[in-house]
Amino acid sequence: MKKTSTSLQILSLLENCHCHLSAAEIYEQLRPQLPAVAPSTVYRILERLVHTGQVSISDMGGGTEVYEIANQRHHHLVCERCHTVLTLSDAEIQPLFESLQQRHSFVISTNHLVLFGICEKCRSGS
């Protein structure tokens, strides 16, 4: 993939924020540096970055897909009530992936697992 100024800006933004951003949020944050960029360009570049594995796309339960840099595999637990996001290391999940692959003779390509539930704080009513 050709690294355009816009794609480099998107990668830099995602690397520096260490967070999940929607395409619209990425577009809004890029506008001051790249006023001529169109939302469709941002969407197209994000699709390419996901396709090449540089960026991951997830549904974190907020109704909009979000993007983050894919340089380190990790996973999330998301509370369905308060929307707290807990980050899990890949080391915590990898044994599950390995067991499933072996048991079902299946190669898992998922690099970002998101599990939904209710956190301890919400369960206790605090």
- Convert the pLDDT of each residue in 47-66 to its tens digit: 999 999 899 888 888 889 99
Average pLDDT over every residue of 63-72:
86
Residue pair 79/60 in contact (Cβ under 8 Å)? The answer is: no
Q: Which domain holds residue 54?
A: 5-69
- Convert the pLDDT of each residue in 32-49 to its tens digit: 989 999 999 999 999 999
| pLDDT at 118 exceeding the cut of 60 | yes
Q: Where are the alpha helices (DSSP H) in 59-109?
A: 90-104
65 and 39 share one domain: yes
End of a domain among 44, 69, 94? Answer: 69
d(CA 71, CA 60): 19
Confidence of residue 126 (pLDDT cuts 50, 70, 90): low
End of a domain among 47, 69, 91? Answer: 69
User: Average per-residue pLDDT in the chain?
Assistant: 90
Confidence of residue 111 (pLDDT cuts 50, 70, 90): confident
11 and 43 share one domain: yes
Residues of the chain above pLDDT 90, percent: 66
Q: Is 64 helix (H, G, I), strand (E, B) or coil?
A: coil
62 and 99 share one domain: no
The total number of structural domains that make up the chain: 2
What's residue 1's pLDDT?
Answer: 44
What's residue 74's pLDDT?
Answer: 84
29 and 47 share one domain: yes
CATH number of the domain encompassing residue 65: 1.10.10.10
CATH number of the domain encompassing residue 105: 3.30.1490.190
59 and 28 share one domain: yes
- Convert the pLDDT of each residue in 2-22 to its tens digit: 556 899 999 999 999 878 899
